[in-house]
Amino acid sequence: MTTTDTPDLSISEAADLVRKRKLSPIELTQACLERIAALDGRVRAFITVTREDALASAQQAAAAINSGNYKGPLHGIPIALKDLFDTAGVRTTAGSKIMAERVPTEDATVTERLKAAGAILLGKLNMHEFAFGATGLNRHYGGTHNPWGLDRMSGGSSSGSGAAVAAGMAMGALGTDTGGSIRIPSSLCGVTGLKPTYGRVSRRGVVPLSWSLDHVGPLARSAADAAILLKAIAGRHAGDETSGEVPVPDYTKALVDTRLKGVRIGVPDTFFFDNVDAESLDAIRAALFLLRDMKAQVDEVSLPHSAEAPQAVAAIMLPEALAYHHRWLAERPGDYGEDVRGRLELALLFPAVTYVEAKRLRTLISDEWRASVFDHVDLLAVPTTPVPAPSLDDDDLQTTLTLTRFTGPFNLAGLPAISIPCGFTSAGLPIGLQLVGRWWEEATVLRVAHAYQQATDWHKRTPTP
């Protein structure tokens, strides 16, 4: 292994070397910074690179480890954050002109927790403006290009998070997911992304898009790495009343058992397989056959109200986003990108009764899926997106609606859902499989994803942008 290759290590592999003092956090951080310098002019994954801070943190980590104070698997590991997470002393733009000069005085809860775990923060990642779109194309900071095809979008809204991890510019990243914004860039960029249960991770210090639908979670090279990141950031914080008082298990320990005998996987009989790209469909079917070969029980299930779920996501997300942006939309409309401004204006057309009906649908879906679906299966398996990475030219509302079609329903339901690579198209674009578990059972989602990744190598492939 050369220094040039070190950013392509998994977190687990790098952590093992760091713990044994065979790899220095300084060397690892420098390698990521060199990768950023070499590639980010083409990929545009970062809005801000905190080079000096990162190197200083790496030196501190190296000194601590050398003196026997090893904190755990994130100690000395270079990570990057979507530019929606507050970072004390480092500007947090939310991908916007409106917050372009905003420098928080406090860290978000997840920033604090990553720092406490010893992670090295490389910088702030590009994103769809205010996380309000799934293409990741940003009018103020430039669109993120997909490392697997620079003429393709990386997906969003956590566009830089997906692209940075795929290209080895960071060993892991955090993103947010309101309608699919962790899972979509994970699918389009060929990485692993987990949206945990609603309330599993505190959103204190995260610029909101839609309070009822926003989730925070990790993007990484593998389910094993996502498990390490989730363990570090999960758990209640009193500053976020929606974060749940639910014990956080050791997700890495849950990965030890890779046997799938007895695991019941449900495949929805409608909606989630409608109008799916043919090559993507073939890859998903092949993944399901493999899971069956691995002794999982795979059966069709019905998911009531799936078809109305995307409408409910829109009916909640749009008015809540408008409520957050109301004053700026009235006073500074020209400071928004045209796409985001148009979506905020579209929100004006959603009546209050429809918002309340959408909240009622969330309750109905929770009740019915718990009783009629998750009493019979442990997981659902569906495509993450109906199509692989679209062209950068396809930047419109319809593309966002297409990309979020199979992810949004699980934001409404608040269920934990992971996207893992399960193949490539003939054009060399990644395809994502989405596994969805019961509320609070991220450990099962990660365990099955990890078992699949032990039997395949899709997640180990790396692009050459």
Partner 1 sequence: MTDTKRCCIVVIRNVFSVKMQDNPRDTVRRIAALAGVQLAEERSADLALSLPFAQVAVAALAAVDYRDADPGAPFPPRPKATP
Active site members: 82, 157, 181
Among 72, 335, 346, 396, binds partner 1 (CB under 8 A): 346
Question: Which range in 7-15, 152-160, 347-355, 423-431 contacts partner 1 by CB under 8 A?
Answer: 347-355
Taking CB under 8 A as the rule, does residue 311 contact partner 1?
yes
Size of the site for partner 1 (CB under 8 A): 45
Among 330, 334, 426, 457, binds partner 1 (CB under 8 A): 330
Question: Which range in 98-106, 285-293, 346-354, 379-387 contacts partner 1 by CB under 8 A?
Answer: 346-354
- Label residues 342-377 b or e (16+ Cβ within 10 Å = b): ebbeebeebeeebbebbeebbeebeeebeeebbeeb
Residue 116 CB coordination number (10 Å): 13
> Are 94 and 215 within 8 A, CB to CB?
no
Question: Which range in 68-76, 115-123, 177-185, 439-447 contacts partner 1 by CB under 8 A?
Answer: 439-447
Taking CB under 8 A as the rule, does residue 305 contact partner 1?
yes
> Are 87 and 122 within 8 A, CB to CB?
no
Taking CB under 8 A as the rule, does residue 370 contact partner 1?
yes
3-state secondary structure of 453: helix
Taking CB under 8 A as the rule, does residue 349 contact partner 1?
yes
Among 94, 108, 358, 451, binds partner 1 (CB under 8 A): 358
3-state secondary structure of 157: coil
Angle at CA 366, nearest 5°, toward 216 and 281? 70
CB of residue 465 vs partner 1: minimum separation in angstroms? Answer: 35
Q: How far apart are CA 3 and CA 465, in angstroms?
A: 18
Give the nearer residue to partner 1 in terms of CB position, either 356 or 455. 356
x/- contact string, 127-146, with partner 1 (CB under 8 A)? --------------------
In a 13 Å sphere around the CA of 109, the CA atoms on its Cβ side amount to 20
- List the interface residues with partner 1, window 168-227 (CB under 8 A): 197-199
Taking CB under 8 A as the rule, does residue 248 contact partner 1?
no
Question: Which range in 167-175, 263-271, 287-295, 300-308 contacts partner 1 by CB under 8 A?
Answer: 300-308
Contacts of 22 (CB under 8 A, 6+ apart): none
Residue position matching structure tokens 């996501």? 313
Measured torsion, CA atoms of residues 80, 82, 88, 93, in degrees rounded to the nearest 10: 140
Residue position matching structure tokens 């979506």? 343
Interface residues toward partner 1, by CB under 8 A: 197-199, 244, 246, 305, 307-308, 311-312, 314-315, 322, 326, 329-330, 333, 342, 345-346, 348-354, 356-364, 366-367, 370, 413-415, 439-441
